[in-house]
C-alpha cells in the first residue's frame, strides 16, 4: 500500500511537472499518469494504427510511439503501457474506454468518431499532471480521470444518466500494428465485478504476454465479448453455452469486451487494472498489495508524493519560472524508463520464457541503451544509484537467460529487439562498477561484457574483430558500429583494468583504437571502408542514411571518440583545425533534402549541422574544451538548452529517447556532463542554475552555485570545487558523491586564456 500522505514541504516541485511537454510531433512523450519507473503508464491514445509491415518509417506507426499526438482530435482509449520518447513503437496494452449508447467494440475513425468507441475531446478540458490525467470525453459526456500505482492503473469515469453506460476493454487494439498484433487473449470473468486474463502479442517485441486483473467499483449488469478471428476452431458443432453474453470463459484472437451499467447523472464508476508479466494470480496479488481500496485521491496523491520525493533530490534556483518547468519535467521524463518489470512477489518472466524471482534486486525492462548509456545512466549513478545498480542486475539476469549469450541491446518484456548499433550495456555496467554503484559480481559482469563483445555473428562483430572495423559490405551502418564498438571496447578495457584482468584489458584497449581505421585523412572524415581496405567511393558527408551511419552523418559521427578525444583532435589536424570543424558544424547551412532523412527529430532539433536530437552528438560541444576554446562550449551549451528545450506540448524538438535528452538537459543545467561514461570524469560546461542542491543519498549533498548568473552571462569566468580552482574543466565522480560545492563565476564575456 502506498503512503497515505504527501510530506509537508514549502513548495511542491511536482507542480512544475508538465507531462504535456513533448506530446506534439516527435517528442513522443505521453501525457498520462504514472509513478517513477512504474510498470503502468496509463495514458490516452489518440490513434491506433492498422498494420504496417515491419517498418518504423511508416509514418503513422512512428507517430504513435507514445500513443498520443497533441494535434489529434479524438481519443481512442486509455491504455496501460507506453514508451516515453522512443523512436519505435510498441505497447499500448489494454485499451479501456467509457461509452454511452449502443455498444461499439471497434474504435472507429478519427474523422468519424461516432463510428466507434472513440471520442472527440478538447485540450481546454484536459489536464495532465504527474500521476494524474483528466479529460472530458465529448461524445459520451464522460469525464475520465486516471491515476496509478506501480503496477495498477486506476480509472475514474463520471457518467451521465443512462441505462446504456459501458466500459469497453479492447484487447485487440494496441500501439504498433493495431489489427495484427494480438496473438491470443484469454479473459475469465470471476464475478460481477472482477475479471482476469492475459493478452499475448507479437509487435515490436516478438513474444510478449501481459497478464491482468480488472475490478470495477460497481457490479456490471451484463457483459459480452467479440472476437474478430473468423473461425475459432472449438468444441465441434456443439454450442453448449451462449458465448456471446455473460459467458465468463473467454479466449480467442482479437477480443474486445463491453461491461454494461445503469448510471445516474454524474455517477462515478471506478475501475482498477493491475498487470503482471507472470500470471493472472500475480496480477490480482499486485492489485491487492498496491490498491486494495477505491480511494482515487489517496492513490493520486501517493503517486505524486513519490514524484515529489524524486524531484526533491535536486533543488534548483533558476532565472525564470519556465526554467523550473523545463528542469523538473526533465527530471520527470528521466524517471519513466526503464520500468519495473516484476510482481510484488518478485516474479517476472525472463528472456528464456521462464518465470524467475528477482533475488535481491528490482528487475527492470525496456532498456533503450544506445540512447541512455550516454547521460541517463550516469545521471542515475548520481541521484538514483540503487536503481541503476538494480538495472545492471537486470541486465545481468537478461544475460544469464539469453540463449544468444548477449547482454541487452534494446530489451523489453522478455525480448530483445536489437535496435540501434553498439553493445552499450557494457558502458552502463563498467560505469556503474567503476563508480562503486553496482556491488554485484564484477568479474561475472566483465565476462558477460567480453562474451557480448565477441558475438561474431552479431552485426559485423566478427569482421570488426578480424579487420579492425566493420566493413562496408557487412552493414549499412558500418562506421556507426565501428565507432561505437570502439568506445564500448574501451569501457570493457576500463573495467578489466579496474579488476586487474590484464589480458582482457590488452585486447580491448587495442580494439578501442579501431576508430582510427575508418578515418579518411584525405577528406578529414570517418568513412566506410570495404574488406579490401578501400574507402567507399560514392560518399556524401551530409548523408545520414545507408552510407555507413545511423542517426547521424559523418560530420557528427566523426567526432564520436568520447574515450580518446585528444587523439581524435590530433588525428583530425590539431586543435585549430578541429575548432574550425566544430564552428562549421554549428553554423553551416544544411540543404533541405537532408532534413527529410534525419531521424527522430523535427527541423528545430538541428543547429547548423549539429543534430542535438540524435544522441551521437551529445558530447560534441564539450570537445571545444580541449580544442582550446572552452568559451565556445559554454555559449553553445546555453544556446542548445535555450533552443531545444521549451515548455508546452511542442517543447521537445525530437524524441526524448527514454530520458536521455532530459538527462542531458539536467546535467547541463547543473554545469557539467559525463563526456565518456566509464571514466570518472565530468566535463565543465555552463550552468543555467543560479544554485542547486543535489541530495546524493546517505546524507551527502553536492551544491552548485553560479555567481552572477544571468541570461547573458553564459561564460564561465572561474570554476572552483570546494574553494579550489578547477583548471582543466573537469571534475571527478568521487568529488561529487562525497559531497561538496562547485562554484561558477559567470560572465558575459568569454574567458579566452
Shortest distance in whole angstroms from residue 400 CB to a second copy: 13
State which residue, 104 or 372, has the beta carbon closest to a second copy.
Answer: 372
Question: 3-class SS at 199?
Answer: strand
State which residue, 465 or 707, has the beta carbon closest to a second copy.
Answer: 465
Shortest distance in whole angstroms from residue 739 CB to a second copy: 44
Cα–Cα distance between 507 and 727 in angstroms, integer?
34
State which residue, 244 or 577, has the beta carbon closest to a second copy.
Answer: 244
Residue 305 C-alpha cell reads as: 508524493
Shortest distance in whole angstroms from residue 322 CB to a second copy: 36
Shortest distance in whole angstroms from residue 4 CB to a second copy: 32
DSSP for 459-474, please give it. TTHHHHHHHSS--TTT
Q: Is 590 left (phi over 0), alpha (psi -120 to 50) or beta?
A: beta
Cβ within 8 Å of residue 328, ≥6 positions away? 13, 14, 16, 17, 311
State which residue, 267 or 400, has the beta carbon closest to a second copy.
Answer: 400
Q: Are 38 and 30 in contact (CB under 8 A)?
A: no
Residues at the interface with a second copy (CB under 8 A)? 51, 53-57, 88, 176-177, 180-181, 183-184, 186, 188-190, 198, 200, 202-204, 206-207, 231-238, 240-242, 248-249, 251-252, 279-281, 352-355, 403-404, 409, 417-419, 457-459
Note the Cα 640 to chain centre separation in Å.
21
Shortest distance in whole angstroms from residue 207 CB to a second copy: 5
Exposure string of 640-663, with b = 16+ CB inside 10 Å and e = fewer, is bbeebbbbebbbbbbbbbbbbbbb
Count how many residues are written for the chain: 753
State which residue, 356 or 619, has the beta carbon closest to a second copy.
Answer: 356
State which residue, 458 or 539, has the beta carbon closest to a second copy.
Answer: 458
State which residue, 89 or 394, has the beta carbon closest to a second copy.
Answer: 89
Question: 3-class SS at 90?
Answer: coil
Q: Count Cβ atoms within 10 A of the Cβ of residue 289 and give its class: 0-12 exposed, 13-18 middle, 19 or more buried.
A: middle
Shortest distance in whole angstroms from residue 224 CB to a second copy: 14
State which residue, 190 or 542, has the beta carbon closest to a second copy.
Answer: 190
Residue 119 C-alpha cell reads as: 471520442
Residue 342 C-alpha cell reads as: 516484476
Q: How much of the chain is in helix, strand and coil states, percent to nearest 5?
A: 30, 25, 45
Note the Cα 341 to chain centre separation in Å.
15
Q: Count Cβ atoms within 10 A of the Cβ of residue 521 and give its class: 0-12 exposed, 13-18 middle, 19 or more buried.
A: exposed
Shortest distance in whole angstroms from residue 293 CB to a second copy: 25
Cβ within 8 Å of residue 233, ≥6 positions away? none
Shortest distance in whole angstroms from residue 670 CB to a second copy: 35
Phi/psi of residue 74, each to 5°? -130, 160
Nearest to 333 by CA among 299, 300, 368: 368
The two counts, helices (H) then strands (E), for the chain are: 19, 36
State which residue, 202 or 268, has the beta carbon closest to a second copy.
Answer: 202
Shortest distance in whole angstroms from residue 493 CB to a second copy: 24
Q: What is the side-by-side strand order in the sheet with 249-252? A: 126-129, 132-137, 142-148, 152-159, 267-276, 208-216, 194-201, 182-189, 249-252
Shortest distance in whole angstroms from residue 251 CB to a second copy: 5
State which residue, 55 or 698, has the beta carbon closest to a second copy.
Answer: 55
State which residue, 384 or 614, has the beta carbon closest to a second copy.
Answer: 614
Amino acid at each position: 500500500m502506498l503512503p497515505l500522505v504527501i510530506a509537508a514541504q514549502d513548495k511542491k516541485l511536482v507542480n512544475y511537472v508538465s507531462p504535456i511537454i513533448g506530446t506534439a510531433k516527435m517528442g513522443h512523450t505521453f501525457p498520462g499518469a504514472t509513478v517513477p519507473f512504474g510498470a503502468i503508464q496509463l495514458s490516452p491514445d489518440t490513434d491506433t494504427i492498422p498494420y504496417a509491415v515491419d517498418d518504423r518509417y511508416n509514418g503513422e506507426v512512428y507517430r504513435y510511439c507514445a500513443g498520443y499526438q497533441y494535434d489529434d482530435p479524438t481519443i481512442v482509449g486509455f491504455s496501460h503501457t507506453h514508451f516515453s520518447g522512443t523512436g519505435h513503437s510498441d505497447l499500448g496494452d489494454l485499451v479501456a474506454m467509457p461509452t454511452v449508447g449502443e455498444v461499439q467494440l471497434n474504435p472507429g475513425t478519427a474523422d468519424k468518431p461516432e463510428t466507434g468507441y472513440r471520442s472527440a475531446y478538447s485540450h481546454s478540458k484536459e489536464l495532465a499532471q504527474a500521476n494524474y490525467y483528466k479529460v472530458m470525453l465529448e461524445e459520451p459526456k464522460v469525464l475520465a480521470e486516471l491515476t496509478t500505482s506501480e503496477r495498477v492503473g486506476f480509472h475514474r469515469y463520471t457518467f451521465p444518466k443512462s441505462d446504456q453506460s459501458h466500459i469497453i476493454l479492447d484487447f485487440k487494439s494496441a500501439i504498433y500494428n493495431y489489427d495484427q498484433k494480438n496473438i491470443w487473449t484469454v479473459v475469465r470473468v470471476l464475478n460481477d465485478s472482477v475479471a482476469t486474463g492475459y493478452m499475448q502479442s507479437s509487435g515490436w517485441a516478438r513474444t510478449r504476454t501481459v497478464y491482468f486483473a480488472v475490478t470495477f467499483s460497481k457490479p456490471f449488469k451484463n457483459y459480452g465479448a467479440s472476437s474478430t478471428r473468423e473461425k475459432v476452431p472449438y468444441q465441434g458443432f456443439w454450442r453448449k453455452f451462449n458465448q456471446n453474453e455473460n459467458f465468463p470463459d473467454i479466449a480467442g484472437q482479437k477480443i474486445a469486451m463491453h461491461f454494461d451499467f445503469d448510471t445516474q447523472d454524474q455517477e462515478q464508476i471506478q475501475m482498477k487494472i493491475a498487470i503482471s508479466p507472470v500470471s493472472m494470480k500475480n496480477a490480482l496479488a499486485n492489485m491487492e498489495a498496491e490498491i486494495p481500496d477505491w480511494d482515487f485521491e489517496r492513490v493520486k496523491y501517493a503517486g505524486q508524493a513519490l514524484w515529489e520525493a524524486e524531484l526533491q533530490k535536486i533543488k534548483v534556483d533558476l532565472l525564470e519560472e519556465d526554467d523550473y518547468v523545463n528542469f523538473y519535467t526533465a527530471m520527470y521524463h528521466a524517471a519513466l524508463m526503464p520500468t519495473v518489470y516484476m510482481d510484488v512477489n518478485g516474479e517476472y518472466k525472463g528472456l528464456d520464457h521462464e518465470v524467475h524471482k528477482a533475488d535481491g534486486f528490482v528487475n527492470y525492462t525496456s532498456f533503450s541503451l544506445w540512447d541512455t548509456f550516454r547521460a541517463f545512466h550516469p545521471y542515475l549513478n548520481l541521484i538514483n544509484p540503487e536503481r541503476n545498480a538494480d538495472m545492471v542486475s537486470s541486465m545481468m539476469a537478461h544475460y544469464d537467460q539469453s540463449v544468444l549469450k548477449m547482454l541487452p541491446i534494446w530489451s523489453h518484456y522478455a525480448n530483445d529487439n536489437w535496435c540501434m548499433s553498439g553493445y552499450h550495456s557494457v558502458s552502463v555496467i563498467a560505469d556503474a562498477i567503476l563508480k562503486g554503484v553496482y556491488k554485484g559480481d564484477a568479474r561475472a559482469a566483465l565476462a558477460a561484457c567480453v562474451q557480448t563483445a565477441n558475438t561474431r555473428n552479431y552485426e559485423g562483430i566478427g569482421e570488426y574483430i578480424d579487420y579492425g572495423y566493420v566493413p562496408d559490405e557487412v552493414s549499412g551502418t558500418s562506421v556507426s558500429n565501428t565507432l561505437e564498438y570502439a568506445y564500448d571496447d574501451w569501457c570493457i578495457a576500463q573495467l578489466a583494468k579496474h579488476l586487474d584482468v590484464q589480458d582482457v584489458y590488452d585486447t580491448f584497449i587495442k580494439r578501442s583504437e579501431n576508430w582510427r581505421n575508418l578515418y579518411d585523412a584525405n577528406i578529414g572524415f570517418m568513412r566506410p571502408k570495404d574488406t579490401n581496405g578501400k574507402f567507399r567511393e560514392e560518399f556524401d558527408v551530409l548523408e545520414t542514411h545507408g552510407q555507413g551511419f545511423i542517426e547521424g552523418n559523418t560530420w557528427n559521427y566523426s567526432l564520436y571518440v568520447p574515450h580518446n578525444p585528444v587523439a581524435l583532435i590530433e588525428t583530425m589536424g590539431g586543435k585549430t583545425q578541429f575548432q574550425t570543424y566544430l564552428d562549421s558544424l554549428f553554423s553551416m547551412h544544411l540543404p533541405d533534402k537532408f532534413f527529410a532523412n534525419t531521424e527522430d527529430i523535427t527541423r528545430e532539433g538541428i543547429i547548423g549541422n549539429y543534430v542535438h536530437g540524435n544522441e551521437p552528438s551529445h558530447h560534441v560541444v564539450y570537445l571545444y574544451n580541449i580544442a582550446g576554446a572552452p568559451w565556445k562550449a559554454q555559449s553553445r551549451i546555453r544556446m542548445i538548452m535555450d533552443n531545444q528545450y521549451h515548455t508546452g506540448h511542442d517543447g521537445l524538438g525530437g524524441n526524448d529517447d527514454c530520458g536521455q535528452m532530459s538527462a542531458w538537459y539536467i546535467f547541463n543545467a547543473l554545469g557539467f556532463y559525463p563526456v565518456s561514461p566509464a571514466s570518472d570524469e565530468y566535463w565543465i560546461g555552463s550552468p543555467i542554475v543560479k544554485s542547486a542542491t543535489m541530495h546524493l543519498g546517505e546524507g551527502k549533498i553536492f551544491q552548485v552555485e553560479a555567481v552572477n548568473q544571468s541570461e547573458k552571462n553564459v561564460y564561465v569566468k572561474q570554476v572552483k570545487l570546494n574553494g579550489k580552482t578547477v583548471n582543466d574543466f573537469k571534475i571527478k565522480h568521487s568529488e561529487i558523491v562525497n559531497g561538496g560545492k562547485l562554484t561558477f563565476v559567470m560572465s558575459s564575456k568569454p574567458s579566452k586564456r
